[in-house]
Amino acid sequence: MGIITIVGRPNVGKSSIFNRLLGRREAIVDDFPGVTRDRLYGEMVWDSHRFYIVDTGGIMGEIEDGHPDIMAKMELQVRHALAESDGAVFVLDGREGVTATDSEIAEMLRRSGRRVVVAVNKLDNPARIDAVYDAASLGFEKVLPVSAEHNFNMGELMEEMVSFLPEGDAASEFEESDEIPVTFVGRPNTGKSSLFNVLAGSERSLVSNVPGTTRDVVDTIVELDGRKFRFLDTAGLRRKAKVNSNVEYYSIVRTYQAIDKCRVAIVLLDASELVTDQDKRLIGHVLKRGKGLVIAVNKWDLAPGDPKVGDRTRALLKDELRFASHAPVLFLSALTGRGVPRLPQHVRAVDENRRRRISTSELNRLVNEVLAFERMPGDGRGRYLKISFCTQADGVPPAFVFFVNDERLAARAFERRLENIIRKMTDYSGVPLKLFFRNKRN
């Protein structure tokens, strides 16, 4: 599909325009400059055309937070976006007029050879219309006054963007692919963005030793071994007590939304600090939302050379993460590439397990033969749980309904034992199971 990239200085309203065109709050918007750092892709349909719009980080002359490497990588992300684009929207701040940095960006756009429409944002007041003439001095043919906040001239801007697209981008020609949405989650600095870039085959996410480099959710579609994956990179999750800014708060919200969008979540652990309480909470949240789970221990290149370190680590993880002991564990290094090629295989297997079914006849054989020898829970007064029959409900994750004489007798310990028995019947690795008990008379 065609691609249109939005570029400009920080705080000119690029993300606001991006959100307005998409019709939803996809990018984080804040008065603090430099909030957007990576390339954010949004899918659009307009006038029978389907295409991507790309929000990019602001190009600035000043150093943000004292981290010049982040600034350089942000500008590199913009250049990558322009290289793959059919056109660009150059956003200016109508309240400030044209600055020296705007002139530098204009020169970069001319060198790129891309068609450009200049959007002079924040012009909700007719008294500021002179800013349009100031913007025309940059030498671009198309200049539009717009206001993302008040939805002014957004339709005209979209018409200009569509004119940049090549022929053959009609929405009717687009076919949905059976891609697997996969979200990378974990604490800050566990290597999510590095792994994301290795699988994407390019530097789609900014990578830095500075915790919190990733703020928005960055996604890309990659075909591996004949199967398409939509990988989503997310911001690192810290304990709520340590969240100290609006930007970080909304980054966390986007991360939880990304978990809801995926079918399989890859939770990255740091080999140098294996399991923390935050990791346990995050893994518990993934399973509670009914998502497939793969646990990836990153930075394995830093692990000791002891041949038994892998076995000891697996034993530790099994002990610390008893509630997720069914999840596959993979040791890898995003830096060296070790173990990374096996990751898509694990994701596909877990995704297939989420849709796995057990026939009703097999389930009732479980009831009649296996559970006949189990000690059933009771109320201590001579009444014991009796299971009449069982069936698997439709949908994912796998859910099983047991019809019983009294659902109140189904103790949690018995439910866990029953789940373990079901897991032995077929492969449900990496998949949470839901068990429901219903009174037969109801």
Q: Looking at per-residue confidence, does 19 or 80 come out higher?
A: 19
CA angle 98, 213, 339 (to 5 degrees): 135
pLDDT digits (tens, 9 = 90+) for 282-338: 999 999 989 999 999 999 988 877 888 989 999 999 999 999 999 999 999 998 999
Distance CA 65, CA 63 (A): 7
Q: How far is CA 323 from the centre of its chain?
A: 24
Residues 94 and 222 reside in one and the same domain: no
Residues 349 and 366 reside in one and the same domain: no
Question: Can you give the pLDDT at residue 391?
Answer: 92
Q: Considering only 24-28, 211-215, 260-264, 400-404, which range has the smallest mean pLDDT?
A: 211-215
pLDDT at 36 over 70: no
Residues 325 and 396 reside in one and the same domain: no
Question: Can you give the pLDDT at residue 60?
Answer: 67
- Sign of the Cα torsion 7, 11, 13, 15 reads positive
Residues 18 and 123 reside in one and the same domain: yes
Q: In terms of DSSP H, where are the helices of 113-209?
A: 130-136, 154-163, 192-200
pLDDT at 47 over 80: no
Residues 336 and 274 reside in one and the same domain: yes
Pick from 354, 389, 415: which residue ends a domain? 354
Pick from 307, 332, 354: which residue ends a domain? 354
Residues 420 and 316 reside in one and the same domain: no
Residues 137 and 259 reside in one and the same domain: no
Distance CA 255, CA 212 (A): 12
Q: Looking at per-residue confidence, does 249 or 5 come out higher?
A: 5
Residues 225 and 121 reside in one and the same domain: no
Band of residue 243 on the pLDDT scale cut at 50, 70, 90: very low
How much is the average pLDDT of 386-393? 89
Distance CA 62, CA 86 (A): 29
Domain limits for position 316: 180-354
Run of H or E including 265:
strand 264-270
Q: How many domains does the chain have?
A: 3
Band of residue 211 on the pLDDT scale cut at 50, 70, 90: very low
pTM of the complete model:
0.62
Question: Can you give the pLDDT at residue 48?
Answer: 73
Residues 144 and 199 reside in one and the same domain: no
Question: Can you give the pLDDT at residue 37?
Answer: 47
Question: Can you give the pLDDT at residue 30?
Answer: 41
Residues 328 and 277 reside in one and the same domain: yes
pLDDT digits (tens, 9 = 90+) for 335-377: 899 999 999 999 999 999 999 999 999 998 887 877 777 788 8
Pick from 132, 156, 173: which residue ends a domain? 173
Residue 296 structure tokens? 């990836």
Q: How many CB atoms lie within 10 A of CB 127?
A: 7
Residues 327 and 228 reside in one and the same domain: yes
Radius of gyration for the alpha carbons in the chain, expressed in angstroms and rounded: 26
Residues 219 and 344 reside in one and the same domain: yes
Question: Can you give the pLDDT at residue 63?
Answer: 47
* CATH code of the domain in which 309 resides: 3.40.50.300
Residue 218 structure tokens? 């960055």
Q: Tokens 């009717």, residue?
A: 172
Taking all residues of the chain, what is their mean pLDDT, rounded to a whole number? 81
